[in-house]
Structure 1
């Protein structure tokens, strides 16, 4: 016998990870996590626009990349407007991935210059704020949308980098994520965060890895339950989950993708 609950049940064969017809914007899309995220969305059928301060070689040719310095908030807003104009619609998924340590290394706090602190905060927190502020009006008009921020294990505890501004900025991005989840939720917009563990994806993480030396490298791997480092594509798959219909009732959450550290 068929009950009312049976007739209202969703079709379990729905391709929830099919992003055909959706517009996706990914910051920091030239390398590392951003490149893997953009390529995953393109492979899933999305119209993907990326931005970075660097060029992009290789990867999925369907990803349109613009050169944008997101520490310039006006430039960040202009990029969002340009994406909406080219797509002819509001952005469906915004991935705030741009960030990093801006070439800095671990130093005692008394040696940290104002400009160095401000640069890291601007790259991580400032860019996320600027992109979310610019994309929110279009998403509100559409009555839907998903924003995924990329934080870090450094958003939950002390950073492996030892860089005070980076740890502080990632904690702040997580706070912004949770606040926007409550502010934008009534408009049908979900805001969540993926917190990657240590992944070797770019020159900065390679320098960090080499600085540990063999003994500390082994200690880091031993502290992971899966006994290996993750990959950029594994981070990308978590982002697609948050952006997909599989996460339709998930809002204001952080997902640690760290192998069980």
Structure 2
């Protein structure tokens, strides 16, 4: 199945590393013009060298996300798709509930839920006017069941992101806009996931692998491949769906 995105413009948030970078490269390889968006301007330098436009922004606020999406549309003249890969655990590891402070809780919601909401809000008018569009959120297995990392805010935020995905699919469907989510299993793709993995210890690491049917962790490319399908015309009548890409979770 040859999936092409020639002539289309996709914005990818969280593009400076890991899963976001893999998604940006996969979409570009399929012919899309890719706008990479991330708070880490330096981390996007390799993507700029590959011909993508780069947009440094803090997406945790409505103003920041809205300005970033407006910049992408102004630069490319249109927006056909948005992939909200920004998120993560913001350097946190699992701790007992008694130790969690307000900032610990809120920063993860800002990164994972607020950013997706405000970016979607920023692109919706242009997509409505065009009569089509693709919005793809990156949730997590932690949005469907308790988190293996033990981070309360992360599990809660990803559950909220799944709900937002389904709600936006209902609202935007009449305008020809599909909204779907990819829910990765554990992928060691950046410094934060490396810290999480090592914080588990050997016994928990083996337990994680034993619960995966394929007995391996995911790769960033595994997630990019799933996003590519949702972005393509082959997924034109699929919306409001959460696709687990986790090697089979027993």
Q: Where on the TM-score scale, by shorter chain, does this alignment land: which range?
A: over 0.9
1:105 corresponding residue in structure 2: 93
Between the two proteins, the alignment pairs up a number of residues equal to 246
Contact 2:149–2:196 under 8 Å retained in 1: yes
Name which of 45, 67, 77 aligns with 2:66.
Answer: 77
Deviates more, 1:59-68 or 1:166-175: 59-68
Q: Aligned equivalents of 1:155 and 1:246: distance in 2? A: 25
**Which structure 2 residues correspond to residues 144-183 of structure 1 after superposition, within 5 A?**
144-183=132-171
Question: What is the CA distance between 1:103 and its match in structure 2?
Answer: 1.3
Output the TM-score relative to the length of structure 1: 0.91
Question: What is the CA distance between 1:47 and its match in structure 2?
Answer: 0.4
What is the DSSP-based 3-state SS (H/G/I as helix, E as strand, rest coil) of the residue aligned with 2:243?
strand
Question: What is the CA distance between 1:58 and its match in structure 2?
Answer: 3.2
**Which structure 2 residues correspond to residues 8-23 of structure 1 after superposition, within 5 A?**
15=2, 17-23=3-9
Contact 1:178–1:253 under 8 Å retained in 2: yes
Name which of 187, 195, 206 aligns with 1:199.
Answer: 187
Task: Tell me the alpha carbon deviations over residues 65-122 of structure 1, each in whole angstroms, 9 at most, x when there is no partner.
Answer: 2211111321110111111111112x11100110011112212222211111111111
Question: What is the CA distance between 1:200 and its match in structure 2?
Answer: 0.3
Deviates more, 1:205-214 or 1:129-138: 205-214
Name which of 224, 227, 251 aligns with 2:215.
Answer: 227
What is the DSSP-based 3-state SS (H/G/I as helix, E as strand, rest coil) of the residue aligned with 2:16?
coil
Q: Aligned equivalents of 1:119 and 1:102: distance in 2? A: 7
**Which structure 2 residues correspond to residues 109-148 of structure 1 after superposition, within 5 A?**
109-148=97-136
2:18 corresponding residue in structure 1: 32
Q: Aligned equivalents of 1:88 and 1:180: distance in 2? A: 24
Question: What is the CA distance between 1:215 and its match in structure 2?
Answer: 2.6
Of structures 1 and 2, the larger Rg is shown by: 1
1:41 corresponding residue in structure 2: 27
Question: What is the CA distance between 1:186 and its match in structure 2?
Answer: 0.2
Root mean square deviation, CA, Å: 1.3
Name which of 190, 199, 202 aligns with 2:178.
Answer: 190
Contact 1:28–1:35 under 8 Å retained in 2: yes
Contact 1:26–1:48 under 8 Å retained in 2: yes
Name which of 46, 52, 58 aligns with 1:58.
Answer: 46
Task: Tell me the alpha carbon deviations over residues 137-195 of structure 1, each in whole angstroms, 9 at most, x when there is no partner.
Answer: 00000000010000000110101121111111100010000000010000000000000
What is the DSSP-based 3-state SS (H/G/I as helix, E as strand, rest coil) of the residue aligned with 1:25?
strand
Output the TM-score relative to the length of structure 2: 0.95
